[in-house]
Chain A
Amino acid sequence: MPITPMEIYKWLPKTNCKKCGEATCMSFAFKLLNREKKLEDCTPLFEEKKYEKQREKLIELLKPLEEATETGLIVDEDLCVGCGNCVVVCPVHVELDPKGAAIGKGPTIDDPILRVENGKVKVINMEACRRYGKNRVLCVVCRENCPTDAIRFLEG
C-alpha cells in the first residue's frame, strides 16, 4: 500500500498549530512524506496524552520511509526475479550507457542507479536518478515495467 499525504494527515492533530513551522497540518504531512520534516517536529503529538494512539499509528505508518531510498524507491528482493527490465528501461541509463544498459546488456558504467546482483536488483547510485534532488521528475518507469511489483515508490 502506498503512503499518501492524506493518509498521514488523517492521523495528525489537524489543529494547524504551526508549532512544526508549517502553516497547516496538511503541509506538514507532505513534508513528512518527502522526508523534509520528521514526526518529532510535531510536538503536540508527543507531549499531549490524547494523541498517543495517533502517534503510534503514525510511527507504524511511516516505517517504510526509513527503508526507502532517498527518492522513495523501495525494492522488495523477495519478489524480484532479476529480469533487469528496470535496468534497461531507465532513461538515465540509456543516456549514460548507450552501449550497455540501453541495448539490454548489464550496465557497463561504474555507478548505475540499479544493477542486478546475485539475481536481485540492487540500488547502487540513487543520486543519478531523476527523482533525486531539487529539480526532480517523478519518473516511475522502473516500477511500471516490473512484472512482479518488486519496485514500489512511497507515493504510490
Chain B
Amino acid sequence: MICPVCSCLCDDIEIVDGKIMNACKRGCEFFSKYEENRSKPLVEGREVNIDEAIDAAVNLLKQSKSVAIYGLDTTVVEAQKKAIELAEKLEAYIDDNSSFCLGEFVEAVLKEEVPTTTLEEVRDNAYVMFYWGSNPHYSIPRHMSRYTYYPRGRKRPRGYEEDRFLVVVDVRRSETATLAKKNARFILVEDDLELIDSFFKVLEGKAYKYSSDAAIILREMKKSDFNVVFGGLGLKYGLKDLKPFFDLVNKLNEVAPLYFIPAGFHGNMRGFNETLFENVGVVNRFSFKEQNSKEEFAFTELLKREKIDTALIVGTDPVSSLPFEVSLKLRKIKTIVVDPRNSLTARIANVVIPSAFSGLETSGTMVRSDGVRFKLEAIEEREINDVSILDRLVGEL
C-alpha cells in the first residue's frame, strides 16, 4: 500500500492484524484516524444531501464573477486535471500550496534549469548529500532512511559511514543536523547567500566566510560522479531570489555531477505542478482570464487584495494553515469546501461537499517529490470522491 501523506509516497506500508507496519508517525495518524471527524454535506450550515450540496455549489459558481480554485495538493492527478478544466471553463484563478511552498523549485526542475534525478538513483549512487534548509525529521520523516542517506545502494554498499557524505545546512541545530557525525558536515548559516558565495569564492581560489567547509565539501564531491542536493523551505525563504542557488548548482556541476531534488511537500503537490505545467506552462498561481501567472494571483494575495468573490477549496484547510489576517478574509467571500474532513475551513464554509481520501478511498495517480508517478489503489473505493465531484461541477456549469 502507498502512503499518500507526504511526497515520499512510501510504497511499503502494510496493515497486518490491525497494525500499521512501516509507516512513520504522520502516515500512521492518517491510516488510523481517517474515519474520524468526517465532513457532512452542508449548505449555509444546514445539513442536506450530497446532490443538494453540489447544486448549491453550482449555483454559487454561476453567480460569482471572480472564482479561485485552491488546494488540490492532497488529491490525485485525475482530480487535478478536472479542477484545471473547471478553472478554464470559469475563467478562474487556480493555485495550490506550492505558491508559498516549493513551487519555484519544482518549476526550475520542470523547465530543466537544474539537473535532477530520481530517489532510486540517489539511493544507488549518491555520495555527497546536501539537506539545505530542510529538516526531514518533521515533514518527511522517512526520507533519509527510505531513499537517501541510510539505505545501501548498488554503488554504495558499505553504508552511510563510508559511502555517504552528509551535508546539513540550516539556521539552527535541527534534528537532522544532529545526525551529521562521521563523514558529515553541519553548516550553521546566518545567510544562505553567504554560503553560496563561499562556494563561488573557493572555486576562484579565494577565501570567504564558509570557505573551509566549502573546500572540504568540494573535495568530497570530486570523489564521486553522483551528488545530490535537497532544497527545503528554509532555502526558499532564506533567499530572496533563487537564481544564485541554481547558478551554484550549475556551477558545481562543472566540478562534479550534482543533481537537485526538492526536499518534500504535500503528497501530490508535484502532481499539481506538473499537470498545470503541461496545460499552461507554469506550475501555480495561474489566471485563466488573463492567461498568465503573476505573484498577485497566489491565493493568499487574492484574498489579501480582495480580488475574488468565491473560492472553491479542495482538500486543504486554509483557516488552520494560513495567517489569521489572510484566512479572516475568507469570511468576506463565498466558500465551497470539498474535503473528506470536517476541517476548520469546512466549519465556516457556505457549501461543504464531503469527499473521500485520495489514495485510501480513491484510486489514482500521485507524483513523488522527484517526479516518479505512482498508481495508488484504494482499499475501499468510494463513489463520491474529488474526481466525481469536480467532474459533476464541470458538467453542470
Residues of A within 8 A of B (CB): 80-85, 87-89, 91, 94, 98, 102-106, 115-120, 144-145, 147-148
> Bound state CA distance, A120 and B24, in angstroms?
7
Q: Which residues of A contact B171 (CB under 8 A)?
A: none
Closest chain-B Cβ to A115's Cβ sits at a distance in Å of: 7
Task: Decide if A104 touches B145 in the complex (CB within 8 Å).
Answer: yes
Task: Decide if A89 touches B160 in the complex (CB within 8 Å).
Answer: yes
Q: Which residues of A contact B27 (CB under 8 A)?
A: 82, 119
Closest chain-A Cβ to B129's Cβ sits at a distance in Å of: 14
- What 1/0 mask marks residues of chain B from 19 to 52 whose CB sits below 8 Å from any chain A CB? 1111111111100100000000000000000000
Contact A145-B19, Cβ < 8 Å, known A81-B24, A83-B145, A88-B145: no
Q: Which residues of B contact A117 (CB under 8 A)?
A: 19-21
Task: Decide if A116 touches B21 in the complex (CB within 8 Å).
Answer: yes
Q: Which residues of A contact B153 (CB under 8 A)?
A: 103
Q: Which residues of A contact B150 (CB under 8 A)?
A: 85, 88-89, 104, 145
> Bound state CA distance, A118 and B17, in angstroms?
11
Task: Decide if B29 touches A119 in the complex (CB within 8 Å).
Answer: yes
Say whether B12 faces chain A, with CB atoms less than 8 Å apart. Answer: yes
Contact A104-B141, Cβ < 8 Å, known A82-B24, A89-B160, A118-B32: no
Residues of chain B from 180 to 208 with CB closer than 8 A to chain A in the complex: 181
Task: Decide if A148 touches B145 in the complex (CB within 8 Å).
Answer: no
Say whether B257 faces chain A, with CB atoms less than 8 Å apart. Answer: no
Task: Decide if A106 touches B20 in the complex (CB within 8 Å).
Answer: no
Task: Decide if B25 touches A80 in the complex (CB within 8 Å).
Answer: yes
Task: Decide if A119 touches B21 in the complex (CB within 8 Å).
Answer: no
Task: Decide if B175 touches A84 in the complex (CB within 8 Å).
Answer: no
Q: Which residue of B lies closest to A94 (CB)?
A: B152
Q: How large is the interface on B (under 10, 10 to 19, 20 to 34, 35 or more residues)?
A: 35 or more
Task: Decide if B146 touches A82 in the complex (CB within 8 Å).
Answer: no
Q: Which residue of B lies closest to A116 (CB)?
A: B22
Q: Which residues of A contact B151 (CB under 8 A)?
A: 88, 102-104
Q: Which residues of A contact B372 (CB under 8 A)?
A: none
Q: Which residues of B contact A145 (CB under 8 A)?
A: 150, 160, 179
Q: Which of A98, A103, A116 sits near B24, CB closer than 8 Å?
A: A116
Q: Which residue of B lies closest to A104 (CB)?
A: B151
Task: Decide if A82 touches B178 in the complex (CB within 8 Å).
Answer: no
> Bound state CA distance, A116 and B181, in angstroms?
24
Q: Which of A81, A88, A89, A144 sits near B141, CB closer than 8 Å?
A: A81
Task: Decide if A147 touches B24 in the complex (CB within 8 Å).
Answer: no
Q: Which residues of A contact B13 (CB under 8 A)?
A: 106
Task: Decide if B178 touches A147 in the complex (CB within 8 Å).
Answer: yes
Q: Which residue of A lies closest to B30 (CB)?
A: A119
> Bound state CA distance, A83 and B21, in angstroms?
12
Task: Decide if A118 touches B19 in the complex (CB within 8 Å).
Answer: yes
Q: List 20 A-B contacts (CB under 8 A).
A: A81-B26, A81-B138, A82-B28, A83-B141, A84-B141, A84-B142, A85-B145, A85-B179, A89-B145, A103-B152, A104-B147, A115-B22, A116-B23, A117-B20, A119-B27, A119-B28, A120-B28, A144-B181, A147-B175, A148-B137
Q: Which residues of A contact B141 (CB under 8 A)?
A: 81-84
Say whether B233 faces chain A, with CB atoms less than 8 Å apart. Answer: no
Q: Which of A98, A106, A144 sits near B22, CB closer than 8 Å?
A: A106
Residues of B within 8 A of A (CB): 12-14, 19-29, 32, 123, 136-138, 141-142, 144-147, 150-153, 159-160, 175-176, 178-179, 181
Known: A104-B151, A118-B32, A145-B179. 7 other contacts (CB 8 A): A80-B25, A81-B141, A82-B28, A82-B141, A104-B147, A116-B23, A119-B25
Q: Which residues of A contact B178 (CB under 8 A)?
A: 147
Closest chain-B Cβ to A52's Cβ sits at a distance in Å of: 42
Task: Decide if B147 touches A83 in the complex (CB within 8 Å).
Answer: no
Closest chain-B Cβ to A149's Cβ sits at a distance in Å of: 9
Task: Decide if A94 touches B21 in the complex (CB within 8 Å).
Answer: no
Closest chain-A Cβ to B230's Cβ sits at a distance in Å of: 15
Q: Which of B19, B25, B137, B160 sits near A147, CB closer than 8 Å?
A: B137
Q: Which residue of A lies closest to B153 (CB)?
A: A103
Q: Which residue of B lies closest to A144 (CB)?
A: B181
Task: Decide if A84 touches B22 in the complex (CB within 8 Å).
Answer: yes
Closest chain-A Cβ to B360's Cβ sits at a distance in Å of: 16
Q: Which residues of A contact B26 (CB under 8 A)?
A: 81, 119
Q: Which residues of A contact B152 (CB under 8 A)?
A: 94, 98, 102-103
Task: Decide if B20 touches A83 in the complex (CB within 8 Å).
Answer: no
> What 8 pairs across the A-B complex have the smallest Cβ distances?
A119-B28, A106-B22, A104-B151, A147-B175, A82-B24, A119-B25, A83-B141, A84-B145
Q: Which of B19, B24, B29, B159 sits near A84, CB closer than 8 Å?
A: B24
Q: Which residue of B lies closest to A103 (CB)?
A: B151
Q: Which residues of A contact B28 (CB under 8 A)?
A: 82, 118-120
Task: Decide if A89 touches B181 in the complex (CB within 8 Å).
Answer: no
> Bound state CA distance, A104 and B138, in angstroms?
18
Closest chain-A Cβ to B370's Cβ sits at a distance in Å of: 14
Contact A106-B24, Cβ < 8 Å, known A83-B145, A118-B19: no
> Bound state CA distance, A80 and B147, in angstroms?
19
